[in-house]
């Protein structure tokens, strides 16, 4: 046996310090960002970053395109808002109620949808999300087109007043960073490797003895739960939940964020959400047609950045190394 081969077998694999450095840098940036950027905008951006990252867990790492993620986002927002306004529970319990709701919805929709693949899977998720939309339109507790609004954020753990902007900011920032770290851990675990294998070659994964249906359902439910967390935080931030949160347009927005940023990358949803939310914030006061500009931006990204902004950047780095 050669020395090189022996070294390859004996030497342990070292963990890269890059993820730890990246998350430390993210925490530092979020800590000082309110001094330069309006905190409400940053909190909104963090909610949609988490939404896009949760969606990317399903599309980018499992290969399942869902057109119905607004059901989980808006469903959690409605339950969180209802819990705060009617049940008058503490905000952490309201958020937990919203997340549990999205997990249950994810389990119900997932059991039905994962039996199909490709466009059939996407259409089933869209159809069931539209059913949930009409349920929210008719259900008494949602107040129809008026939505749920005018509630207090309450005190976190009965101590920290979330009606104070900076208290709310650091709470949403902490939850978002921890959630992104959780997604990174899922993706880089043996479970995440199996999800990648299903995405690349499902029949071969099944031939190795793995139950693709169970893994896809688990990924779908995890994605739904994290999406629900994003929706609950968004309801807490703006103190309302409306039909716009469960409409199909919301599902379209998260797809745009993920595709523009780059599917299958951790940074892609962050960049994509930043571009889309930033453009929406700018265009809201510009007088320009928002949907047309966003559509044109998407077309440009598809033509020039086929892998998304982050995907193309990583591909360029790999080519230079090669």
CA atoms of 170 and 29, how far apart (whole Å): 12
Give CA separation, 48 vs 14, 169, 180, 231, in Å.
Answer: 33, 14, 12, 9
CA atoms of 61 and 253, how far apart (whole Å): 19
Ordered alpha helix ranges (H), the chain: 3-10, 18-32, 39-62, 70-82, 91-113, 118-138, 165-187, 190-200, 202-207, 212-238, 248-261, 267-283, 290-304, 308-321
The whole-number pLDDT of residue 1 equals 41
CA atoms of 31 and 170, how far apart (whole Å): 8
The whole-number pLDDT of residue 150 equals 87
CA atoms of 74 and 243, how far apart (whole Å): 8
Nearest in space to 51 (alpha carbons), one of 237, 259, 224: 224
Q: Considering just the CA atoms, what is the radius of gyration of the chain in Å?
A: 21
The whole-number pLDDT of residue 10 equals 38
The whole-number pLDDT of residue 51 equals 97
Helix (H, G, I), strand (E, B) or coil at 297: helix
Global confidence as pTM: 0.90
- The DSSP secondary structure of 20-86, one letter per residue, reads HHHHHHHHHHHHHGGGTS-HHHHHHHHHHHHHHHHHHHHHHHH----S-THHHHHHHHHHHHHIIII
| 306's tokens | 């086929």
Helix (H, G, I), strand (E, B) or coil at 156: strand
The whole-number pLDDT of residue 16 equals 64
Cα-Cα end-to-end distance for the chain: 29
Helix (H, G, I), strand (E, B) or coil at 163: coil
Q: What is the pLDDT along the chain (322 residues), one digit of tens a residue?
A: 444 443 433 334 456 666 778 778 888 888 898 889 899 999 999 999 999 999 999 999 999 999 999 999 999 999 999 999 999 999 999 999 999 999 999 999 999 999 888 899 999 999 999 999 999 999 999 998 899 998 999 999 889 999 999 999 999 999 999 999 999 999 999 999 999 999 999 999 999 999 999 999 999 999 999 999 999 999 999 999 999 999 999 999 999 999 898 888 888 899 999 989 988 888 777 777 777 887 787 788 777 777 888 888 887 888 887 6
The whole-number pLDDT of residue 112 equals 94
The whole-number pLDDT of residue 9 equals 36
Helix (H, G, I), strand (E, B) or coil at 149: strand
Phi and psi at residue 88, in whole multiples of 5°? 55, 45
Spatial contact of 259 and 301, defined as CB atoms under 8 Å apart: yes
The whole-number pLDDT of residue 31 equals 87
Q: How many residues does the chain have?
A: 322
Strand partners, 160: 156
Instruction: Break the chain into its structural domains and give their ranges.
Output: 10-246
| 162's tokens | 């979330």
Q: Which helix (H) or strand (E) holds 155?
A: strand 155-156
């Amino acid at each position: 046996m050669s020395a090189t081969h022996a070294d390859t077998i004996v030497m342990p694999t070292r963990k890269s310090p890059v993820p730890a450095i990246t998350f430390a840098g993210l925490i530092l940036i979020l800590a000082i960002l309110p001094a330069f950027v309006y905190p409400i905008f940053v909190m909104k951006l963090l909610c949609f970053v988490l939404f896009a990252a949760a969606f990317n867990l399903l599309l980018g790492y499992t290969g399942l395109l869902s057109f119905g993620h607004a059901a989980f986002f808006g469903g959690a927002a409605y339950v969180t808002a209802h819990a705060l306004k009617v049940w008058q529970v503490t905000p952490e319990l309201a958020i937990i109620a919203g997340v549990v709701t999205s997990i249950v919805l994810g389990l119900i929709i997932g059991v039905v949808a994962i039996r199909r693949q490709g466009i059939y899977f996407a259409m089933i998720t869209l159809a069931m999300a539209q059913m949930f939309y009409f349920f929210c339109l008719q259900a008494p507790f949602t107040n129809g087109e008026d939505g749920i609004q005018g509630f207090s954020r309450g005190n976190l753990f009965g101590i920290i007043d979330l009606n104070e902007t900076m208290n709310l900011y650091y709470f949403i920032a902490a939850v978002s960073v921890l959630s992104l770290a959780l997604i990174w851990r899922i993706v880089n675990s043996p479970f995440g490797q199996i999800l990648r294998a299903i995405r690349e070659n499902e029949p071969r994964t099944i031939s190795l003895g793995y139950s693709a249906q169970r893994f896809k359902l688990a990924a779908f439910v995890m994605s739904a739960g994290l999406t629900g967390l994003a929706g609950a935080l968004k309801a807490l931030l703006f103190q309302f939940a409306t039909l716009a949160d469960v409409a199909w347009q919301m599902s379209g927005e998260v797809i745009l964020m993920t595709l523009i940023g780059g599917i299958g990358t951790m940074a892609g949803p962050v960049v994509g959400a930043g571009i889309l939310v930033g453009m929406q914030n700018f265009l809201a006061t510009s007088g320009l047609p928002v949907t047309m500009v966003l559509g044109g931006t998407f077309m440009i990204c598809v033509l020039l950045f086929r892998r998304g902004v982050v995907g193309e950047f990583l591909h360029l780095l790999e080519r230079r190394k090669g």
